[in-house]
Amino acid sequence: MAEIKFYNREPVPVEMHKVKIVQKLSLLPARERLNKLREAGFNTFMLHNGDIFMDMLTDSGVNAMSDNMQSAMLRADDAYAGSETFYRMNEKLTGIFGMKYLLPTHQGRACEHIIAQHFVKPGSCVIMNYHFTTSKAHVTRLGGRVEELVKDEGLVVKSNLPFKGNIDLDKVKACIEKEGAENIAYMRLEAGTNLIGGQPISYENMKEATDIAKQHGIVTVLDASLLQDNLYFIKTREAGMQDKSIREITRMIADLFDIVYFSARKFGFGRGGGIMVRDEEMFHAMEDYITMFEGFLTYGGMSVKEMEALIIGFEETMDMDIISQGPQFINHCVTELDKLGVPMVTPGGGLGAHIDARQVVDHIPAEQYPAGSLVAALYLCGGIRGMERGTLSEERNPDGTEHIASVEMVRLAFPRRVFTLSQTEYVIDRVKWLYDHRHLIGGLKFVHEPKTLRFFTGKLEAVSDWPEKLVEAYIADFGEDQ
């Protein structure tokens, strides 16, 4: 997005694209939304998309393709083996990351599965700045464990720290000394740290951390799924980066790592995933996992039509005008809600605007999932589907007790090139109303709790009749049909 100045008002984000294809949305009446939420077990993942007005669950696989991406799909070479589309995609990614070898997968968690399968052994540990739900699950499933070493200030919800995703270098050194380098499977750094608000990590911090790892012979891995937002923040926030292009910064980052993997459901505006590997021997050591779990080496579970679109999408990710829309819309949403007194994660990061649920509903016990309750309430009061990012997204401790999350947030994701500013203003209005009526929100409890990644398919119920009372208050202010 361009930095467009306004004559007689404060600037607002301006889209650097025009809408050519539209999809109809519907806003169900509040009482009907309550029925739908009950059927979904108070889990927004289980809602039908047709029952949602503003789908802000995630940016994964729901970003808008450009006209050039869609037209490129007609060029796809649809072959089981040896598709020319694959070789074009490999060439594009090699040009961006400087890594020769590509292992294609169906999405990001498949990359995590293969990397963990290859490197993690029982009792080993993986160093991370912060975990992602599936990245941690793959490590623990194999008998490993995750050491989260994000700087302490990264968990301070409200601050002006520009790079809250930075890893603590002293903690890294202490962890290596304690564990022994031979027991560390790899170091994984996540660009745009998802679970603490899409907060970026600086180039300088990545360089220093990977230098330490290399001194001890530890494999370095970059999760680049949210790299495009992180690139925007490095260019706009990090000293010495303003004069560098997005392409230059990307290559500088990639040169630090042995492995770069990504979910193309986020990075590239499409669907799929990939593992870029620098070393030929390491590539061959992992390629069997592709044919075993994903598909042949030249499609890996991806549609070649999507692959052809991604070739264009990867190139568009190198365009500052394109990748700035998400962070600028998010910043606008965060800034306006902060002005209205709603506790927000600041500064605004990538991926989405994040509400500090622990502060908003501080009357709800941690064991009754405050962020999950706030997500449910937000759907009732506006048809907005957000995502819980807190204790509900954690897994229980070995003794069955709840593992209370470091932060308790509601994420309002901004899929790329999807929402308008007026829709964003609607979200701001409904969040403010809900904040002013937060005393009406109560807790949740599980009635069906899967053992792994329970937040995806678990079913819950309200601990009281608070949803009914909240809906009646909403109808009193907005009417029966809103």
Catalytic sites, residue numbers: 80, 132-133, 223, 266, 389, 455
- Residue 339 C-beta-side C-alpha neighbours within 13 Å: 8
**Inter-residue contact 212 to 173 (CB < 8 Å):** yes
Please provide the distance, in angstroms rounded to a whole number, between the alpha carbons at the two ends of the chain: 33
Cβ atoms within 10 Å, residue 257: 24
**The Cα angle at residue 117 between residues 115 and 119, in degrees rounded to 5:** 65
- Please, what sign has the CA dihedral across residues 317, 323, 327, 333? negative
- Would you call 105 helix, strand, or coil by DSSP? strand
Tell me the C-alpha to C-alpha distance, in Å, between residue 190 and each of 197, 437, 447.
12, 36, 33
Distance CA 85, CA 307 (A): 7
For residue 350, how far is the Cα from the chain centroid? 8
Q: Is 192 left (phi over 0), alpha (psi -120 to 50) or beta?
A: left
Ramachandran assignment for 295, one of left (phi > 0), alpha (psi -120 to 50 degrees), beta (any other)? left
- Please give the C-alpha separations between residue 478 and each of 60, 238, 341, 437, in angstroms, as whole numbers: 32, 44, 21, 14
Using DSSP's 3-state secondary structure scheme, residue 315 falls into helix
How many C-beta atoms lie closer than 10 Å to residue 80's C-beta?
A: 10
Q: How far apart are alpha carbons 101 and 275 in whole angstroms? A: 8
Query: Rounded to an integer, what is the distance from CA 304 to the centroid of its chain?
Result: 24
